[in-house]
Structure 1
């Protein structure tokens, strides 16, 4: 199964993100993500088996023990890839709590022998894939208001022709 570990976003933050995406869609063509897929990936594990999943769940429990809610502050738009075929995202300030949580999850995964994508952690929320970003400036956007996230979830990602569906497998509430 294809798995990742993510920070879930509170509903008011998701509402604001959906509004940003609607504004962007008028100016940037692309395949916009469904609002129920918004999250901050802490670690992408890829294809794993049941035994590795159990080890990943233990790692998540350990990494989240004693962690409190994570501040969320939008820092601006960004992209991965070429302007003609980009992933468009909203960045988050890499505040200490968020960075420590991601580092803790990755450290605990490593100590449990769970393989994961070792790309540097860059806190962001994907808004659109296959975006075609023109060279003209975008309109002023009202980014989400600062908020806090308090759930870390292990998700299964199921891919099909319409995109990805995320099924929660395990959730830890941050105290």
Structure 2
């Protein structure tokens, strides 16, 4: 019987000073993918070392692939969201996603620098499952097209000319995480409230 892995679950019923915590569902990168993303950041730092304002780089602990943005969420819905994610994870196996480019996102000269993935049926099913879970709970999913990516940095003035870098890296995707987003002096901080491993821990022997 697949089991879900949890972390920080005791924090999921509070909103750090607000009655409506801002939540989203995402995928946390595993250690090899984190290492690859860190290499991209080092490369980007060299290209963006000068300019009007240097980007604010996303800390490794904040890196994630967003599946669905829930927005301000009544705390009483959080247990149902966790149950829904657990059920989704038990019915899905670990999958992969191909990172194909590094550049401004979602368009040239945008404020975000991201490593973008090509979507695939496995990722689409996870995204659709999150949207269906929201509908079941009376929440309205975003209408924006799903473009999976890992945000690596941002510049409020836009990134300016940045030669897109073509990539070919296959990332292992093996979890669903419920995150809380909170504003902080250095930018938004994302706290994992609940994590479910796809297929259960027995199919994830090397997460670290």
TM-score interval, normalised by the smaller of the two chains: 0.7 to 0.9
1:73-152, aligned counterparts within 5 Å?
A: 73-77=98-102, 78-80=104-106, 83=109, 86-130=111-155, 132-135=158-161, 137=163, 143=167, 145-152=169-176
CA root-mean-square deviation = 2.1
- Cα deviation code 1:73-115 (max 9, x no counterpart): 11112413672x6111111110110111111111122122134
Corresponding residue number in structure 2 for 1:40:
65
Q: For 1:110, what is the secondary structure of its paired residue?
A: helix
- Give the alignment's TM-score, normalised by structure 1: 0.87
- Unpaired runs of at least 5, structure 1: none
Corresponding residue number in structure 2 for 1:51:
76
Within the candidate set 192, 200, 208, 1:168 is matched to: 192
Corresponding residue number in structure 1 for 2:36:
16
Query: Contact 1:56/1:114 (CA < 8 Å) preserved in 2?
Result: no
Query: Contact 1:62/1:108 (CA < 8 Å) preserved in 2?
Result: no
Distance 2:112 2:63 in 1: 14
- Unpaired runs of at least 5, structure 2: 1-20, 49-53, 200-208
Q: How many residues align?
A: 172
Distance 2:43 2:98 in 1: 19
CA gap of 1:97–1:120, structure 2 versus 1, over 3 A, is same
Distance 1:136 1:49 in 2: 40
Larger CA Rg, structure 1 vs 2: 2
CA gap of 1:82–1:146, structure 2 versus 1, over 3 A, is closer
The Cα shift of 1:7 comes to: 1.1
